[in-house]
Amino acid sequence: MKFKDLLKRYWPYIKGYKFHFTLVLIGILLMAGATASIAHIMKLIIDDMFIKKEQYMLYFIPILLITVYLLKSIGRYMQSVSTTHIGLHIVSRLREDLLEKIMHIDMQFLYINRSGELISRITNDITRVQYFVSRMLPELIQSIFTVIALVSYVIYLNPTLAFWALVVVPLVVVPLIKITRRLKKLSHRSQEKNADVVTRLTEVFNNNEIIKANATEKYELSRFREENERFFKINMKSTYTSELVSPLMEIIGATGLAAVIFVGGQQVYSGHMSPGDFTAFLTAVGQTFDPLRRVSSIYSKIQDAQAASERIFDIFDLDNTIQDGPKELSEAISNVEFKNVTLKFGEKTALENLNLTIHAGQNIALVGQSGGGKSSLVNLLLRFYDADDGCVMINNHNIKEYTQNSLRHQIASVSQRVYIFQDTLAANVAYGNDVDEEKVIEALKMADAIEFAMNLPEGIYTMMQEFGANLSGGQRQRIAIARAIYKHASLLILDEATSALDNESEKRIQNALHEYSKDKITVTIAHRLSTITHADAILYFEAGKIIARGTHQELLETSDAYRRLAGEMV
């Protein structure tokens, strides 16, 4: 991606800061003008103050010098504060937009890509862009304006001598282009390695219990050390390359300065140039090479921000295969129908020619060996995937006709993995909705969770730790059930929702759920026999097909596969 293409992508973020950019421009002009003025002050000191010995210069030059540096300081402050505001605000918006994109992206993408990789793009890659936007870019603009001001001044003083001074500048371009090309490649690799490090850290933090339980701290540390070492080596390669720029510029700058001293000295000796003019010229040229060196150094760092930007916009450019339909599903889900549904993941068939109808008030249980297609059916209902063939109908309309948000607002799901957020218990129960204390308490009662909730230090307003670490497995599961009840959706999905509970608690919750879900569709993925004996229909899945269906008693009488499974599930 070329720089002008990146600028075009960033333009929607940049264009809203006209006032701040005006302040930046004023600040930069003040700084550039002040820098060029310092060189002219040197001319006045030599020619008027020392050679002509004009008395008023003893007062005028100090006042002028203080004024110039005051204007330069004001300009620096205006430019620094305004660019930092622009940079931080742009990056904040960019980070929010990137997270929004990732949150709305297809589940298939999220399953395939490591969480550490995505976190790295939101944190590390955007931080690199932030450093460029808020620090490097303003310095680049300031340096360019300063160079223009100084070059204009030296040409004004002596065009011939300016030629000798500036003829070396094109010599910088060729090595700089080669260096920046290599830097861009190294920057891409560095950001990928950073993602590997973040991924490894994410795994360590998310799996700390199993690491400690298996005493594998040394093993995990060695794995992290390997990734960290690779990250270190690629960063050192970038450093070896980028740090060539400044020495190269200094050597070229010294060559140009030597030419100026030689040619300028001859002109002073011959009387074509005053000592003051030569001093001012030498000062201006010396000041020119510093911003030129900074421009070259910044240009090499642009490659780092450019590589980070490409990784960020790669995410933005992804097209979702799951698209919203035009309709809002505002009424309760009263019936669901699978018509000849086939779902594939690459070469693997997850569901094949599935036909099923479910009506409100029915409790349908899904059983079978792992990989049989139970979760795939649920994922189709949530539109995590779309069927490859056939269609899923909701209230006699194709599920694709509805917006995803309106569909999912009608579905409450309790999965095997319980998600607890760092917020109050009440906020976890009401997750995504306003907290209604009465409704929270009612949901906790139905989930058999009110007793332990009220015994917490601050009751339902107790703050939950990360992953619900201050709760037992059974308590976390009760909160998940209460969350589903609080949502009051018309379709309830229970994926072994009571697996962490004792038999008495499980019975109480099942009785409460039975009353609660009388007018709803309930889909239960079962791994224990006790959770499905009351189901209106049990579907036995194998290799993506329903090979048996009926009540618990009917299947015990008619299906050998179900009898074997029932024996395993007890």
For 83-96, what is each residue's pLDDT tens digit?
A: 888 888 888 888 88
Which of 46, 45, 129 is CA-nearest to residue 87?
Answer: 129
What is the number of alpha carbons within 13 Å of residue 249 lying toward its C-beta? 22
pLDDT confidence bin for 172, thresholds 50/70/90: low
pLDDT of residue 227: 87
Q: Using an 8 Å Cβ cutoff, are 423 and 466 in contact?
A: no
Q: Phi, psi at residue 497, to the nearest 5°?
A: -70, -15
pLDDT of residue 173: 57
pLDDT of residue 209: 64
Does residue 453 have a pLDDT over 60? yes
Does residue 70 have a pLDDT over 90? yes
pLDDT of residue 289: 72
The pair of structure tokens assigned to 245 is 């720029």
The pair of structure tokens assigned to 182 is 């290599």
Average pLDDT, the chain: 85
Does residue 59 have a pLDDT over 60? yes
Question: In this predicted structure, which of 201-205, 469-473, 555-559 has the lowest mean pLDDT?
Answer: 201-205
Does residue 1 have a pLDDT over 70? no
Question: In this predicted structure, which of 332-341, 411-420, 543-552 has the lowest mean pLDDT?
Answer: 411-420
pTM above 0.75, yes or no: no
Q: Using an 8 Å Cβ cutoff, are 264 and 272 in contact?
A: no
For 121-147, what is each residue's pLDDT tens digit?
A: 887 788 778 777 777 777 787 788 888
Position 319: which residue type?
D
For 233-290, what is each residue's pLDDT tens digit?
A: 888 888 888 777 777 777 776 777 787 788 888 888 888 888 988 888 888 887 877 7
Burial (CB < 10 A; 0-12, 13-18, 19+), residue 153, is: buried
Does residue 562 have a pLDDT over 70? yes
Helix, strand, or coil (residue 353): strand
The pair of structure tokens assigned to 151 is 């070059």
pLDDT of residue 102: 86
Does residue 479 have a pLDDT over 70? yes
CB atoms within 10 A of CB 570: 7
For 373-404, what is each residue's pLDDT tens digit?
A: 998 999 999 999 999 999 999 999 999 999 99
pLDDT of residue 177: 66
CA dihedral (89, 95, 99, 102) positive or negative: positive
